Amino acid sequence: MAHELTPETPAHESGRAAGAKDTREPIEQPPIEQRRNGLYPEISDELAQSMRSGWADTELHGLEPIAQAAHTERRRAALSARFPGERLVIPAGNLRTRSNDTEYAFRAGTEYAYLTGDQSHDGVLVLEPTADGHTATVHLRPRSNRENGEFWLDGQGELWVGRRHSLAEAARLLGIPAEDVRELPGRLREATGPVRVVRGHDAGIESALTDKVTAERDEELRVFLSEARLVKDEFEIAELRKACDATARGFEDVVRVLDRAEATSERYVEGTFFLRARVEGNDVGYGSICAAGPHATTLHWVRNDGPVRPGELLLLDAGVETTELYTADVTRTLPVNGRFSAVQRRIYDAVYEAQEAGIAAVRPGALFRDFHDAAQRVLATRLVEWGLLDGLDVEKVLELGLQRRWTLHGTGHMLGMDVHDCAAARRASYVAGTLEPGMCLTVEPGLYFQADDLTVPEEYRGIGVRIEDDILVTEDGNRNLSAALPRRADEVETWMARLRG
Ligand code: GLY
Ligand code: MN
Ligand code: MN
């Protein structure tokens, strides 16, 4: 968005008309937005007048509510019931400047999107307490005013950033009355009564509330909204399925171009997956980990600037985020040349077996940590068999946690709109809690032998393997939402051979 209408007049030039006489008289500074756009200083009255009119009425009539409107209403009702008599403020967040007038890609705050189905930057949901609950209002940027020039002179004018929904259209789509967000800070400042805000998204809104909120009470709101998302509704489950299906296609894309990754770098893998994420969804749900060779032993390898070499493994941990902001989180560890070596296969099979044990432990009524314990037991058993633990038995290894030198991380986490979903939930409801139908979690054991680990045989060094799937807890056990991608070593090889023709 670096186009300037008058490029010959740099935006940073001092407030003086190009070519105008240097009268040394101070002249009035134009609004900052005009200067940002590089429009200043050559706006004739005739041009300003011209831009005011001659535009068609494009108001959209007969819009239907968004698909999840009934679900967001139910989610707001649960929130209302938890905090009777209190004003609740849930902001979407603001754009973040990258430099000058360019911004980072915006992603609406999870709580706001969950409760409204909307993703507008600067949006704020407010639940106003009433005698018998709350009324919800969504506060949004309205359509740009053309009379006062905002339409084309403001950096957020629709001429620059595209048409927004009118407040009436937004209200119809979301099923929530909509008002102009620019009036909200003043109203919040004046309002009385108990109030809570979801922090961390909108500094302007927080500053309007600064004397009225406390960190402790706001945290209770955040915790509630995190725990509310532990059990997914039908809409959310369908979104997670979509995310997993698109992710499976993204992995297939990568396998098809592994020869080009070999000729370039891990970035080719990252770019290939990203293309799928942008075409089928909103984005990747987190920075893709495209870790070839020894990089696979670095848990969050997102630099992705290393070589992809035949004979080594590629650990790809990536997820498509849908347009409604639900993400998959899937890992496959693939032999770059299509066949596992004997030692790669030995390590891979141990991780596969651990994942099988972990997935089998996911069912309603099980403890959240059961699947972790099941997977860790398998890995510890293999590590003991391979002679890496000084002759200790498996029970002792598990008691002391010594396997963790090579297993490194927990075996999974909740998944949803955030890749590490429900992260503010209390221990008792999540880590120390019990699985229920509708929960969705990853099962992702791994073994990582660092390249400089002198305690393992040389042939193990620099090998990292993780297998990660997205598992929905059902009434009768679980469903693997990412089962479209093969996991067993021989099936992975057959699948790769087929895709690479
Ligand atoms: N991709 C991050 C994780 O697997 O948790
Ligand atoms: Mn992952
Ligand atoms: Mn994960």
Task: Per-residue pLDDT tens, the chain, 501 aa: give them.
Answer: 333 333 233 333 333 333 333 333 433 445 555 544 555 567 888 999 999 999 999 999 999 999 999 999 999 999 999 999 999 999 999 999 999 989 999 999 999 999 999 999 999 999 999 999 999 999 999 999 999 999 999 989 999 999 999 999 999 999 999 999 999 999 999 999 999 999 999 999 999 999 999 999 999 999 999 999 999 999 999 999 999 999 999 999 999 999 999 999 999 999 999 999 999 999 999 999 999 999 999 999 999 999 999 999 999 999 999 999 999 999 999 999 999 999 999 999 999 999 999 999 999 999 999 999 999 999 999 999 999 999 999 999 999 999 999 999 999 999 999 999 999 999 999 999 999 999 999 999 999 999 999 999 999 999 999 999 999 999 999 999 999 999 999 999 999 999 999
Backbone angles phi, psi at 92, to 5 degrees: -80, -30
The DSSP letter of residue 454 is: T
Q: pLDDT tens-digit profile of 103-142?
A: 999 999 999 999 999 999 999 999 999 999 999 999 999 9
Nearest CA to ligand 1 atom 3: 329
Cis check: omega of the bond before 41, within 30 degrees of 0: yes
Separation CA 289–CA 254 (nearest Å): 13
Report how far ligand 2's centroid is from the alpha carbon of 456 (Å).
25
Report how far ligand 3's centroid is from the alpha carbon of 467 (Å).
10
Quote the strand ranges of 10-155, DSSP E: 87-91, 97-99, 102-103, 124-130, 133-140
Report how far ligand 3's centroid is from the alpha carbon of 38 (Å).
45
Half-sphere exposure of 33 (CA within 13 A, CB side): 12
Supply the pLDDT for residue 14.
30
Hey, what are 374's tokens? 């099941």
Beta carbon of 421 within 6 Å of any ligand 1 atom: no
Beta carbon of 370 within 6 Å of any ligand 1 atom: no
Q: pLDDT tens-digit profile of 69-92?
A: 999 999 999 999 999 999 999 999
| Cβ contact 306:268 at 8 Å | no
Supply the pLDDT for residue 169.
98
Q: What is this structure's pTM?
A: 0.92
Beta carbon of 329 within 6 Å of any ligand 1 atom: yes
Reading phi first (left if > 0) and then psi (alpha if -120 to 50, else beta), residue 146 is in: alpha
Which residue from 359, 334, 322, 346 is spatially nearest to 442, judged by alpha carbons? 359
Q: Which domains does the chain have, with CATH numbers?
A: 68-229 (3.40.350.10), 234-500 (3.90.230.10)
Supply the pLDDT for residue 42.
79
Supply the pLDDT for residue 31.
55
The enclosing H or E element of 45 equals: helix 45-52
The enclosing H or E element of 463 equals: strand 463-466
Reading phi first (left if > 0) and then psi (alpha if -120 to 50, else beta), residue 257 is in: alpha
